[in-house]
C-alpha cells in the first residue's frame, strides 16, 4: 500500500472517529478508561493565612465581601434509611488502642440517646443537625442520625505509599464484609506513617464516590479518606492543635493526641461534605472538581469571633486546659468546624432549635422569594441585552431569552424558594409542589 493511500486511510479513520464522537455527544468522547479511578474529589484545605471574611481592625472596616451562598445543583443528599446513615470505618495501618477508642467515641457521638447533656451544652449531635437544613429536590433532608455500624483493620496490605486508586480499592474490598449500600458512609483512616497521594501538599482528607460495578452491586457509593497528620504536617491538618500560620502557640488537644484530634476536625468536615454533596452535584460553590462545601465554606472557624489565624472563642477543660467546642458520648470533648447554615447564610456551630416562631404570611413568603431571586433576574436581563447587541452587530435575529439564561434564573429561583421555605413550615407542601413544577418545565 502506498504512503498516500495509507495517509488517506488514517485521515478518513480520524474523520469517522470525530463524527462518532459528535453523534454520541461529548460525554462519550471524554469517558474515562475502564481501569481509571472515576471520582469527584473534595479537598479540605488548612486555614488560609490571608483574610477572607469581613472584620473590623482598629476601627477600620475591611472590604465587605458578598454573602456566601452554597447553591443547590439538583443532586441528591444522603437521606439514609429510616433517618439513619450507617457508618463503616476502615483503619489502615497502626492505630493505638487509645487512638481507636477516641475515634470510636466521636463516631458514637452523632446519636447517643443514653447520654443526656444540659440544654446549654454544645454537642456533636446538635452540630450535625445543621445538615438537616440541606434538602434534596423533594424537600427530604440529610439524615438525622449517623450510627457506627462496623469497622475493619488492615495491616498495611497495600504498603505505606498509597494513591487515591488504592483508597478506592480498600473501600470496595471492605464491601465483602460490610456489604454495598449507597445510603451508607465508608471512611478510610490512614495511620501517621502512611503516605497518601496529595496528603499534606494541599489536602487533609477527601471524599469520593465509586461508579456502578459488580463489586458495588451496581451502585454509586460515597466514601471518604482522612490521614493522621501527626508526623507529616500537624501545622496544616491539626491546626489549631499545632502552631502554624499566624498561630504561634498551639492549643492543647482535648484527647491528648495532636494527630487524632486533628483527624477528627477533618473527619467532621468530610462527613458534612459527603452528606450534603455526595456525588458532586448537590450543595457547593465554585468548581465542581474542587468545590467549597458545607464545612469547607467555614474553613478555620471553630467559635464566635474567629478570624484567619484565630479559631474563635472555645470552651476550655479546667482540668487539662484543653480547648474544644462540642461534647460527645460519655462526656468526651472534640473540636469540629462550623457549618454553613442555609437559613442564615452564615457559619454556625450548633443547630439553633425550633424555628416555628418565624412563620411568614403568604404575602411575605412570596415577597422574600422575589427579593432573593431579583438579583439573578437583573443579571439575566443584562446578559441577554448584551448578547442581543452582539447579535444585531452580526446581522443575526435577537431573542427574548436564551436557554441558559432561563435555566440560570430557574435555578436561582428554586434556591430562593428553598432558603425562604426553611423558616416557614406552613408552606412546605406549596414549596415542594412549586419545585416539582419548575424542575419539570420544558425550556425551549
Q: Quick: pLDDT tens for 396-423.
A: 554 444 444 445 455 555 555 555 444 4
Q: Is it the case that residue 1 has pLDDT exceeding 90? A: no
Residue 85 carries which DSSP code? E
Backbone angles phi, psi at 299, to 5 degrees: -55, 125
Q: Where are the domains of the chain?
A: 43-348, 362-440
pLDDT of residue 417: 54
Q: How far apart are CA 354 and CA 252, in angstroms?
A: 34
Q: How does DSSP assign 245-308, residue by residue?
A: TTB-SPPPPTTS-HHHHHHHHHHHHHHHHHHH-TTSSSEEBS-TTS-B-TTGGGTT--STT-BT
Higher-pLDDT residue of 381, 90: 90
Q: Which of 223, 204, 341 is nearest to 278 (CA)?
A: 223
**Other CB atoms within 10 A of residue 62 CB:** 12
Higher-pLDDT residue of 168, 364: 168
Higher-pLDDT residue of 431, 18: 431
Q: Is it the case that residue 438 has pLDDT exceeding 60? A: no
pLDDT of residue 75: 96
Average the pLDDT over each of 30-44, 131-145, 184-198, 361-375 and give the range with the smallest value: 361-375
Collapsed DSSP state (helix, strand, coil) of residue 145: strand
pLDDT of residue 64: 47
Residue with cell 471512611: 187
Residue range 271-317, pLDDT digits in tens: 999 999 999 999 999 888 888 999 999 989 999 999 888 999 999 99
CA 302 to chain CA centroid, Å, is 17
Q: How far apart are CA 387 and CA 397, in angstroms?
A: 11
- Percentage of the chain modeled with pLDDT above 70: 63
Amino acid at each position: 500500500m502506498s504512503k498516500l493511500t495509507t495517509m488517506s486511510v488514517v485521515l478518513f479513520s480520524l474523520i469517522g472517529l470525530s463524527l462518532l464522537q459528535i453523534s454520541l455527544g461529548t460525554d462519550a468522547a471524554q469517558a474515562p478508561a475502564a481501569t481509571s479511578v472515576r471520582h469527584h474529589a473534595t479537598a479540605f484545605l488548612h486555614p488560609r493565612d490571608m483574610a477572607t471574611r469581613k472584620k473590623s481592625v482598629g476601627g477600620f472596616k475591611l472590604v465587605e465581601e458578598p454573602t456566601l451562598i452554597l447553591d443547590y445543583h439538583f443532586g441528591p443528599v444522603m437521606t439514609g434509611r429510616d433517618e439513619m446513615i450507617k457508618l463503616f470505618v476502615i483503619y489502615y495501618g497502626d492505630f493505638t488502642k487509645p487512638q481507636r477508642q477516641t475515634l470510636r467515641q466521636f463516631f458514637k457521638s452523632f446519636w447517643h440517646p443514653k447520654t443526656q447533656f444540659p440544654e446549654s451544652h454544645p454537642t456533636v449531635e446538635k452540630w450535625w443537625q445543621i445538615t438537616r437544613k440541606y434538602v434534596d429536590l423533594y424537600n427530604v433532608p440529610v439524615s438525622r442520625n449517623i450510627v457506627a455500624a462496623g469497622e475493619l483493620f488492615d495491616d498495611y496490605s497495600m504498603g505505606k505509599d498509597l494513591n487515591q486508586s488504592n483508597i478506592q480499592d480498600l473501600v470496595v474490598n471492605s464491601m465483602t464484609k460490610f456489604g454495598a449500600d449507597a445510603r451508607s458512609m465508608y471512611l478510610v483512616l490512614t495511620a501517621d506513617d502512611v503516605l497518601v497521594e496529595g496528603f499534606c501538599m494541599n489536602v487533609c482528607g477527601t471524599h469520593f464516590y465509586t461508579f456502578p460495578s459488580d463489586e458495588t452491586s451496581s451502585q454509586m457509593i460515597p466514601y471518604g479518606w482522612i490521614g493522621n497528620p501527626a508526623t507529616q504536617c500537624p501545622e496544616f491538618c491539626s491546626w489549631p492543635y499545632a502552631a502554624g500560620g499566624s498561630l504561634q502557640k498551639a492549643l492543647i488537644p482535648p484527647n491528648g493526641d495532636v494527630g487524632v484530634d486533628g483527624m477528627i476536625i477533618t473527619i467532621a468536615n468530610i462527613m458534612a461534605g459527603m452528606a450534603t454533596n455526595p456525588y458532586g452535584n448537590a450543595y457547593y460553590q465554585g468548581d465542581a472538581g474542587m468545590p467549597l462545601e458545607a464545612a469547607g465554606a467555614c474553613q478555620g472557624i471553630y467559635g464566635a469571633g474567629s478570624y484567619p489565624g484565630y479559631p474563635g472563642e472555645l470552651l476550655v477543660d479546667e482540668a487539662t486546659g484543653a480547648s474544644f467546642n462540642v461534647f460527645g458520648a460519655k462526656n468526651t470533648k472534640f473540636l469540629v468546624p462550623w457549618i454553613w447554615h442555609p437559613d442564615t447564610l452564615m457559619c454556625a456551630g450548633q443547630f439553633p432549635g425550633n424555628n416555628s416562631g418565624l412563620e411568614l404570611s403568604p404575602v411575605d413568603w412570596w415577597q422574600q422569594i422575589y427579593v432573593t431571586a431579583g438579583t439573578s433576574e437583573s443579571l439575566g436581563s443584562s446578559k441577554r441585552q448584551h448578547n442581543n447587541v452582539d447579535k444585531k452587530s452580526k446581522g443575526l435575529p435577537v431573542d427574548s431569552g436564551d436557554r441558559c439564561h432561563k435555566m440560570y434564573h430557574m435555578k436561582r429561583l428554586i434556591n430562593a424558594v428553598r432558603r425562604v421555605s426553611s423558616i416557614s413550615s406552613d408552606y412546605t407542601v406549596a414549596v415542594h409542589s412549586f419545585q416539582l413544577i419548575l424542575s419539570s418545565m420544558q425550556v425551549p
